[in-house]
A and B are shown apart, each in its own frame.
Chain A
Amino acid sequence: MSSVFEGVRVVGAGQAAYAKRSTHGVYRLLYDAGTAALMQAGLDWRMVDGLAVTSFMLPPDNVAVVAEHFGIEARFLFQGVYGGASGVIGMAHAARAIRDGACDVVVVAAADAFDVASHNATLDHFNTSVRDYMSPQGFGGANGMFALHTRLYMERYGATREDFGRFCIALRANALRNPNALFKEPLTMDAYLNARQIADPLRLYDCVMPCVGGDAIVLVSEKLARSLPGNSLRILAAEELHNFPANDVYGLPGGWEGFADRLYERAGCGPSDLQFAQVYDDYPVMSFVQLEGLGLCAKGGAARFIRDTDITVDGSFPVNTGGGQLSAGQAGASGGMIGVVEGVSQLLGKADGRQVKCDRGIVSGYGMVAYGRGLSSSAAILERVR
């Protein structure tokens, strides 16, 4: 069966240098990440005629101003407003634009330059329901919001702190093989369980570290891809779903459960045909919910899955092979691109030092926290072109 994204190839991925602190702003980070992705593909910025950009710190500017800044006469622009779901969604929109002949070379990028204070300030005014009905009430930021989900998940499915710890420890092991990950020391269960309390039951290593960074991939038409020296990928399927299920804040499915069947049907494959997953990991509980929603394990069964499966790079089913946001750092909206970049790098065979043998993998996103939950979910299945 032919993909809905026929005629489109992903040909490069790259990152700006991640840092705890940096003088680099969003434009520098977007440029560095985009340059790295283009170079990997054997392209340069002069070829680019489309941009998909996500960045919390970009306003008052927007993606059209980014095009101006870079001197691009753009035939296609997309600005992600779905937080960490935007990376996958931006990729899908770019692919549709190329498929429809609107443009030929699109850089899909995200970047932010956050620290804890600016991260909190952003979230405090993320949208009106958070600003008026959660922040004044003392919600504790994203940590508090996802502590509520974590407690609920633990009670509903019998998951323990150790289960989340196993996940975080495996991601840390993956991060140690990623030079651009900010955490450089192994994580022990003892350190995980006894870390500083943040928002019970969450402790320090359940929470991403806000940082500075940028991530980008490059999509081109299949015709153009044939003239390039390197490997390329096709997008077998991509889905997004927002506000699912409506009016149910604490059902814990997220949108993935709402589109997984359709995603696999359109991709023409199933969960057992995948060799890795790059899931959005702002908090371990949401990664658990994604693994379940995407059909990689049973509903409520993620803790058992993590107990029984080696998810490190050397394992039977690697997850977040670059360490994810939890061990690489969360550069704001780049958190929604870091998994896309890692998945593309793996399938292009460019994941130096942590390469997984793979032909097909899944990447998923999650974002735009509102009245108690993230509203936006996304996922895509990518395949190496042989």
Chain B
Amino acid sequence: MLKPQPRVNALSKPFWDGVNEGRIRLQRCTAPGCGHAVFYPRVCCPYCRQAGLEWFDATGRGRVLSHTTIHRAHHDGFNPELPYVFAAVELEEGVILYGQLMDAPVESQSLLGRQVAARFAPHGPGRQIVMFQLDEV
């Protein structure tokens, strides 16, 4: 069964095109003295509210902010993968992305603060999605 697909629009297209190319593209505020990285895609910087935002390539590296092992999926498309680990990841650029932690242990143990790198997996017709992989410790 097809998993839920994002609805791509003019605002989010640079991000999703990047994902399909195996890159994580984020917005960055161009206002002097601000410069925050921004995600999800916005029309203005949510820190200084100026409209100047430019796209750039993120490193794809980050750390686990929190995580959960999903035993009951919110959508039947995920049922074949249960249980799996889902995480909130803070990228080095300071933004939060969500994704599955590939090959992570599903039993209850803390992975907070662990370093991760972005990976890209097939998700639907013409669509890749961001996942994350734990660094070896």
Contact = CB atoms under 8 A, between A and B. Distances in A.
Say if A and B assemble together: yes
Interface stretch (A126-134, A290-298, A317-325): A126-134
A197 B3 CA distance: 22
A152 B4 contact: no
Contacts of A134: 98
Contacts of A132: 6-8, 12, 40
Contacts of B46: 246-247
Q: From B5, B75, B123, name the one whose CB has the most chain A CB atoms within 10 angstroms.
A: B75
6 contacts: A120-B75, A123-B74, A131-B6, A138-B74, A197-B69, A199-B71
Contacts of B108: 200-201
Contacts of B98: 133-134, 137, 139, 372
A248 to B, nearest CB: 10
A163 interface: no
A2 B35 CA distance: 46
Contacts of B47: 247
Nearest to A156: B112
Contacts of B44: none
Give the bracket for the number of chain B residues in contact with chain A. Answer: 35 or more
Given A148-B67, A249-B88, 4 more contacts: A151-B112, A155-B112, A250-B66, A371-B40
A141 interface: yes
Interface in B99-121: 99-100, 106, 108, 110, 112
Contacts, number: 116
A136 interface: yes
Which of A149, A151, A152 has most B Cβ within 10 Å?
A151
B130 A137 contact: yes
Interface in A68-99: none
Interface residues of A, number: 37
Contacts of A341: none
A135 B100 CA distance: 11
Contact of A198 (B12, B40, B71): B71
A288 B71 CA distance: 24
Contacts of B8: 132
B66 A152 contact: yes
Contacts of A249: 88, 96
Interface in B53-80: 65-75, 78
B134 interface: no
Given A140-B74, A144-B74, A372-B96, A250 B123 contact: no
Contacts of A247: 46-47
B69 A131 contact: no
B78 A250 contact: no
B55 to A, nearest CB: 16
Contact of B72 (A131, A135, A140, A155): A140
Interface in A140-154: 140-141, 143-144, 147-149, 151-152
Nearest to B36: A247
Contact of A136 (B5, B66, B110): B5
Contacts of B110: 151, 155
A155 B64 CA distance: 13
Contacts of B72: 140, 143, 197-199
A139 B74 contact: yes
Contact of B86 (A129, A140, A250): A140
A124 interface: yes
Contact of A152 (B12, B78, B112): B112
- Pairs of residues from A and B, 3 with the lowest C-beta to C-beta distance, nearest first: A141-B74, A147-B68, A132-B6
A16 interface: no
A118 to B, nearest CB: 12
A104 B8 CA distance: 47
Q: Which of A120, A136, A143, A144 is packed against the most chain B CB atoms within 10 Å? A: A136
